[in-house]
Amino acid sequence: MWKITDSFDKDQITNFGNKYLLANGYMGYRGTMEEYGKEELVANTILGLYDQVGTSWREPVNAPNGLFIKMSFENEELSLRTKKPLKHQQELNIYEGLHRRETSFSVEGGQVTLSIERFLSMASVHLMAARGELISSVPITLTLQVGIDGNVWDINGPHLIGTQLCELDETSLLFEAQTNEEKKKLSVGQTITVDGKSRYIKTEKQGFHEYLITLEPNVPFSFDTFSATYNENDGENPTEQVVSLLNATKKEGYLSLKKAHRNIWANLWKKSDIEILGDEEAQIALRYSIYHLLSIAPRHSDRQSIPARGLSGQTYKGAVFWDTEMFMVPFFQRTDPQIARNLLMYRVHTLDGARKKAKSYGFDGAFYAWESQEYGQDATSDYNVTDVFTNRPMRTYFRDKQIHITGDIAYAMWNYYEYTNDVSFLLDGAAEVIFESAKFYVSYSYFKESKNRYELLDVIGPDEYHERVANNAYTNKLAQVTISIALKVWSFLEAHYPNELSVLLQKTKLEEQKNLLERFQQLIYVPAPDESTGLIEQFDGYYQLEDTSVATVKSRLLNPQEYWGGAYGIASDTQILKQADVLLLLNLFSSSYDKEVIKRNWAYYEPRTEHGSSLSPCIYAMAACKFDNQEWAYPYFMKTATVDLTGETKQFAGTIYIGGTHPAANGGAWMAAILGFAGLKVTDGQLEVDPKLPSHWEKMKFQTIYQNEYYTIEITQGGQKIWKN
């Protein structure tokens, strides 16, 4: 499938930057034109390389644009920045990870067309490659500039200092710089394969080779350009690595590199594709969602995870949220478990950060960062929102009160282990994370003697509009589950790895604490469905809040940009929630609750949900499937699956751009399809499906992996087939 746009719309530049994103897990290159600069948010965002300038938000570093290409004619730029094109096409091949643009400009009574194909190599993740072609209807001599442009998007930069630009040889350039905070080296090299003589031109942040290209009518002229990017996280001498990769690249050539890249993409799709018959729109949206997940998965390292906005830029501080464990890992776990393992190992490697955070708040164990950066430090500001009325920073509690993050991680780890039977993962650190997570909840909790129960006070649940609540059902359940998991791990290690257990218990100081964990597991208060209504109260006192509608609350806005939550937000004193909360609990642990309970809670909470987060609709979609109502589920599935296709999400908070891609929603779309409509599950060690196809879907077909074996699953309205490959 090629995603095609047939015209040029200036207002869509930012949106298309996300929509046509290329990525390969190491870096993400926005869907901008090769001649664009920082105003158009050109960015090659590097996974795991962060920087802070002064007290501004710490965020990922965007490398300079190593695929800079610009043409002009007699000092007039032939560029979408400055000139209206005769024709313009932009295309994304989601099956092969290829981006293509073709733009024609009128010139000298004729027209010149520039076509460029580019990709971020999946075979060699430090490499970007592009092949350009020029063709003119009239004889003409054009100027072509190809090189490296440091004028890229930077929200809280400049992050690169000490920039050095030089010519390596007649066709190759080198850009070297350091990050501002940690002085980490970053090198970008570029080389071009072209016939002709060039001139080297250098400005402060830009270096390129300039060619005079004389075109005969309708005779195409083509050239290839390659760019290599390394930073100090990849080795001590990024420049050496850049030079070495460029040399190898030149020898290999564009077509060969592209072939290796396409092979990997083909293999990825083989493992991950979902075929839907009877719903072209859903088919496109779902595949587009899967494309994004495949693009941004870090295959090269288990020390990085996927940020909330993927590799589409610097928004959300490039930080890793619970999005990864709760909304993306389920996809990878069932299609490419090594990726899931990489993502979860990132949490093992950042356990010390979580321990430090817990300690800083006076708790034991692991309190994971709400917005995690490379060392597990929490990038969340205590003032994450600006008051639109006073322009003052507002004290927010995402960092210190959203304690469910630790349980999300422990849950995802155990789930991965159970699903894959990957014992090495437990021994490589997951068991330790789980033990530290259990300790955290015990130390956070208080005991209420009159009720003979542990409680978790002063938290924020998934519904962030209600701050500092007590006994959020989801959070308390996750805490209980975390302790249960810890006890299961304890028993498992005791039986099979007693030495490892003993070391671990000593390290985590849990030797004498089994009773305490068992007591907590038994006595932690988990709000249960009310006997008569079947409803679970989201947190203590939720029902006492004003019971109103999303529309009514919205009508109270005085400023369209104002924050709905916090102490005085329009939603705060009402039952209106930002996103699935009780339903998240019911969906995750659906086997512990009656279908009728799930349905009643769905019917109660959905009309009260603003879906102010892209994480919300997929939960309602999945949950509706749990009580066999795929018709209720379908619109929420579609809303999730089309998030990045339409780009119709909140793009600005005040004056700050917060857009980008939504990998959690992409994962949510996959979950709604596979865990919802197909009903994929494991019962007594057997993979099975419990399908609830939307009535207009004729067929669903997909692959999945369970305990190291690949299965193909085909579901029709009348039946189902599962076979091992």
Q: Which residues are catalytic?
A: 464
- Measured from the CB atom, is 288 or 454 closer to a copy of itself? 454
- Measured from the CB atom, is 567 or 656 closer to a copy of itself? 567
Cα separation, 1 vs 717, whole angstroms: 26
Q: Is 561 in the site for a copy of itself (CB under 8 A)?
A: no
Q: Is 567 in the site for a copy of itself (CB under 8 A)?
A: yes
- Measured from the CB atom, is 234 or 467 closer to a copy of itself? 467
- Measured from the CB atom, is 220 or 541 closer to a copy of itself? 541
Choices 60-68, 126-134, 390-398, 484-492 (CB under 8 A): range interacting with a copy of itself: 390-398
325 in Cβ contact with 334 (< 8 Å):
no
Picking from 76, 132, 130, the residue whose alpha carbon sits closest to that of residue 105 is 76
Total number of residues binding a copy of itself (CB under 8 A)? Answer: 25
Q: Is 449 in the site for a copy of itself (CB under 8 A)?
A: yes
Q: Which of residues 484-543 bind a copy of itself (CB under 8 A)?
A: none
Choices 29-37, 187-195, 525-533, 565-573 (CB under 8 A): range interacting with a copy of itself: 565-573
Partners of 102 in the β-ladder = 89, 115
Choices 189-197, 221-229, 334-342, 389-397 (CB under 8 A): range interacting with a copy of itself: 389-397
Nearest distance from residue 456's CB to a copy of itself, in Å?
A: 11
> What letter represents residue 169's amino acid?
D
123 in Cβ contact with 264 (< 8 Å):
yes
CA distances from 287 to 95, 338, 690, 702 (A): 9, 21, 22, 12
Give the three-class secondary structure for 597.
Answer: helix
Single out the residue of 443, 629, 649, 720 in contact with a copy of itself (rule: CB under 8 A).
Answer: 443
Please list, residue by residue across 521-536, b when 16 or more beta carbons sit within 10 angstroms of its beta carbon and e when fewer do: bebbbbbebeeeebbb
Choices 15-23, 34-42, 247-255, 566-574 (CB under 8 A): range interacting with a copy of itself: 566-574
Single out the residue of 91, 167, 387, 494 in contact with a copy of itself (rule: CB under 8 A).
Answer: 387
578 is in an annotated binding site: yes
Helix, strand and coil content of the chain, in percent to the nearest 5, comes to: 40, 25, 35
- Judged on CB neighbours under 10 Å (0-12, 13-18, 19+), 285 is buried
212 in Cβ contact with 141 (< 8 Å):
yes
Choices 305-313, 488-496, 568-576, 601-609 (CB under 8 A): range interacting with a copy of itself: 568-576
Nearest distance from residue 318's CB to a copy of itself, in Å?
A: 27
- Measured from the CB atom, is 270 or 392 closer to a copy of itself? 392
- Measured from the CB atom, is 448 or 681 closer to a copy of itself? 448
For residue 158, is the peptide bond before it cis, meaning its omega torsion is within 30 degrees of 0?
Answer: yes
Helix H or strand E encompassing 723: strand 720-724
Q: Which of residues 452-471 bind a copy of itself (CB under 8 A)?
A: 455, 457-458, 468, 470
170 in Cβ contact with 179 (< 8 Å):
no
Choices 271-279, 384-392, 429-437, 663-671 (CB under 8 A): range interacting with a copy of itself: 384-392
Q: Is 548 in the site for a copy of itself (CB under 8 A)?
A: no
504 in Cβ contact with 534 (< 8 Å):
no
Choices 447-455, 491-499, 526-534, 596-604 (CB under 8 A): range interacting with a copy of itself: 447-455
Six token digits for residue 288: 């587009």
Partners of 69 in the β-ladder = 146
Give the three-class secondary structure for 273.
Answer: coil
Dihedral sign computed on CA atoms, order 348, 351, 352, 353: positive
Single out the residue of 183, 392, 650, 721 in contact with a copy of itself (rule: CB under 8 A).
Answer: 392
Overall size of the chain counted in residues: 725
Six token digits for residue 698: 């004729």
Single out the residue of 75, 204, 280, 389 in contact with a copy of itself (rule: CB under 8 A).
Answer: 389
Nearest distance from residue 362's CB to a copy of itself, in Å?
A: 8
Single out the residue of 407, 566, 676, 694 in contact with a copy of itself (rule: CB under 8 A).
Answer: 566
Choices 165-173, 210-218, 386-394, 639-647 (CB under 8 A): range interacting with a copy of itself: 386-394
Q: Is 558 in the site for a copy of itself (CB under 8 A)?
A: yes
458 is in an annotated binding site: no
Single out the residue of 252, 573, 628, 714 in contact with a copy of itself (rule: CB under 8 A).
Answer: 573
602 in Cβ contact with 624 (< 8 Å):
yes
DSSP 713: E
- Measured from the CB atom, is 352 or 382 closer to a copy of itself? 382
Q: Is 359 in the site for a copy of itself (CB under 8 A)?
A: no
Q: Is 6 in the site for a copy of itself (CB under 8 A)?
A: no
- Judged on CB neighbours under 10 Å (0-12, 13-18, 19+), 557 is exposed
Please list, residue by residue across 154-188, b when 16 or more beta carbons sit within 10 angstroms of its beta carbon and e when fewer do: bbbbebbeebebeebeebbbbbbbbbbeeebbbbb
Nearest distance from residue 446's CB to a copy of itself, in Å?
A: 4
Single out the residue of 364, 463, 537, 581 in contact with a copy of itself (rule: CB under 8 A).
Answer: 364
Nearest distance from residue 578's CB to a copy of itself, in Å?
A: 18
- The residue whose two tokens read 């560029």 is 79
Six token digits for residue 677: 């409509």
Six token digits for residue 713: 């699953």
Beta strands in 576-690 (DSSP E): 652-653, 656-657, 681-683, 686-688
Q: Is 259 in the site for a copy of itself (CB under 8 A)?
A: no
Q: Is 446 in the site for a copy of itself (CB under 8 A)?
A: yes
Nearest distance from residue 394's CB to a copy of itself, in Å?
A: 6
Cα separation, 130 vs 98, whole angstroms: 10
Picking from 602, 608, 601, the residue whose alpha carbon sits closest to that of residue 574 is 608
Single out the residue of 2, 447, 543, 652 in contact with a copy of itself (rule: CB under 8 A).
Answer: 447
- The residue whose two tokens read 């609709």 is 617
Nearest distance from residue 358's CB to a copy of itself, in Å?
A: 12
Single out the residue of 10, 259, 270, 395 in contact with a copy of itself (rule: CB under 8 A).
Answer: 395
- Measured from the CB atom, is 39 or 547 closer to a copy of itself? 547
229 in Cβ contact with 120 (< 8 Å):
no
Nearest distance from residue 122's CB to a copy of itself, in Å?
A: 47
- Measured from the CB atom, is 392 or 650 closer to a copy of itself? 392
Cα separation, 700 vs 548, whole angstroms: 39
Picking from 582, 562, 586, 583, the residue whose alpha carbon sits closest to that of residue 572 is 562
- Measured from the CB atom, is 77 or 455 closer to a copy of itself? 455
Picking from 232, 378, 234, 385, the residue whose alpha carbon sits closest to that of residue 300 is 234
Cα separation, 376 vs 345, whole angstroms: 12
Nearest distance from residue 454's CB to a copy of itself, in Å?
A: 9
- Measured from the CB atom, is 568 or 652 closer to a copy of itself? 568
Nearest distance from residue 356's CB to a copy of itself, in Å?
A: 16
Residues making up the binding site for substrate? 322-323, 578-579
Provide the binding-site residues for a copy of itself, judged by CB under 8 A.
364, 387, 389-390, 392, 394-395, 442-443, 446-450, 455, 457-458, 468, 470, 558, 566-568, 572-573
Residues making up the binding site? 322-323, 578-579
